[in-house]
Amino acid sequence: MSDLNDAISDRRRQTRSSVYHYLYQSPEPRSKQDISRDLNLSLPTVYQNVSELLDAGLIEYAGTSQSAGGRPAMQLRILPGARCAIGISITGHRLRFAATDLSREEIAYKDLRHSLNVEDEGYSEFVAQQLENFIDENHIDRNRILGVGISIAGIILPEIFTVLYAPTLYIRNLSLKALIDAIPYSVFPGNDASSGGFAEWFGSEKRESIAFLSLAEGVGGAVLVNGDQYVGNNYRSGEFGHMCVEWDGLPCSCGRKGCLEAYCSAKRLSTDLGITLPEFFSGLENGNEDYAALWEDFKKHLVIGLHNIRMTLDCDIVLGGYLTEYLKPYIGELQEMLAETDPFDRECHYLRISRYSKDSSMLGVALTFIRDFLNSI
């Protein structure tokens, strides 16, 4: 008996899910008649499911349109703001917040500099308070928050809330328990590059496997196969930053020489020169010869790294991380340089910039909550 009930409720749930996802994927509002025809459901079944979704606050009426028979038909659409999620990016002396809703677009953003270190006493409470400030400043309804994701540039074991190693934050074996306890929402910690890769995969219509290369203070990456990260045997898959692109080359933060990170980090074009990234790129545009030479070297090594990723994985390569914002004018040139090294493809459109650009890692950790919610409807 209970199996039968389970089967019935499961079937009903699937029908309601199909009605919701039909409206979710439709670029225009649709009528109950459209739903009935396109999903092959009886009108009474459509009425019942629409009524449940309206009661749950997940869809709304969006005016009327003239149907073929002349009678106006009520149009329905999803309510993107019915639920939202927040992502926090933790880097050295900087917190960035981003919120997204069911539309998967960014709805709020904040960048905050501070002087605390991750291991300082009171750091967890500070982050939790800043999160509440962000929620208030952007008038986010707390009842609609599905959860808060935390993005960190390090090797993370989410099951035990521990950061095993984060070289750019100078930490090893850091427990995130105090931070998670200080935040009164569901919390999910994730690696910045794999979160960025997930954002790109989940946010785009093209759901193919991708390699995500994050260019920020450090250089990281992730391999996403059907949306799941290929983690490797030791959680070190996608560590593209430590591929060797120059034997005995520049020293890297990992202690080795010639790594991609040593050549293609945002640091190399900014703090190492005592300037900011906008200053570097405007100097480059204005003909600074030293910057031009450095930029040539940067691109050359980046293309070697991109070529090796493509030859190994045979999938699209998506560039993310905050440096990527400045690479947009140069993407065509990078594709051409890549084509010169590619024995198979003459056009290298498989290289592209993430649709979320600089905010991909925060949105990625937030979007894991959105994905789970959409799957639960």
Structure tokens at 32: 């109950």
Q: Helices in the chain by DSSP H: which ranges? A: 2-25, 32-39, 43-55, 123-137, 177-182, 192-203, 260-264, 277-285, 289-313, 331-341, 360-376
Q: Does 254 bind Zn ion (CB under 5 A)?
A: yes
User: What is the distance of C-alpha 188 from the center of its chain?
Assistant: 13
Q: Which residue has the tokens 């449940």?
A: 52
Q: Quote the Cα angle for 145-194-361, to 5°.
A: 50
> 212, 354 in Cβ contact below 8 A?
yes
Residue 205 CB, nearest approach to Zn ion (Å)? 35
Q: Does 242 bind Zn ion (CB under 5 A)?
A: yes
Residue 314 CB, nearest approach to Zn ion (Å)? 25
Structure tokens at 97: 């917040």
Q: Quote the Cα angle for 62-68-74, to 5°.
A: 20
The smaller minimum CB distance to Zn ion, of residues 9 and 271, is found at 271
The smaller minimum CB distance to Zn ion, of residues 85 and 306, is found at 306
- Contact positions with Zn ion (CB under 5 A) in 257-276: 259
Q: Does 243 bind Zn ion (CB under 5 A)?
A: no
The smaller minimum CB distance to Zn ion, of residues 241 and 283, is found at 241
Q: Does 155 bind Zn ion (CB under 5 A)?
A: no
Q: What are phi and psi of 130, to 5 degrees?
A: -65, -35
User: 200-239 mask for Zn ion (x: CB under 5 A)?
Assistant: ----------------------------------------
Residue 9 CB, nearest approach to Zn ion (Å)? 53
Number of residues counted as binding Zn ion (CB under 5 A): 5
The smaller minimum CB distance to Zn ion, of residues 107 and 254, is found at 254
* HSE-up of residue 258 (Cα within 13 Å, Cβ side): 8
Residue 3 CB, nearest approach to Zn ion (Å)? 56
User: What is the distance of C-alpha 70 from the center of its chain?
Assistant: 45
Q: Does 252 bind Zn ion (CB under 5 A)?
A: yes
Residue 275 CB, nearest approach to Zn ion (Å)? 24
Structure tokens at 58: 């997940």
Residue 259 CB, nearest approach to Zn ion (Å)? 3
The smaller minimum CB distance to Zn ion, of residues 262 and 284, is found at 262
Binding footprint of Zn ion on the chain (CB under 5 A): 242, 252, 254, 256, 259
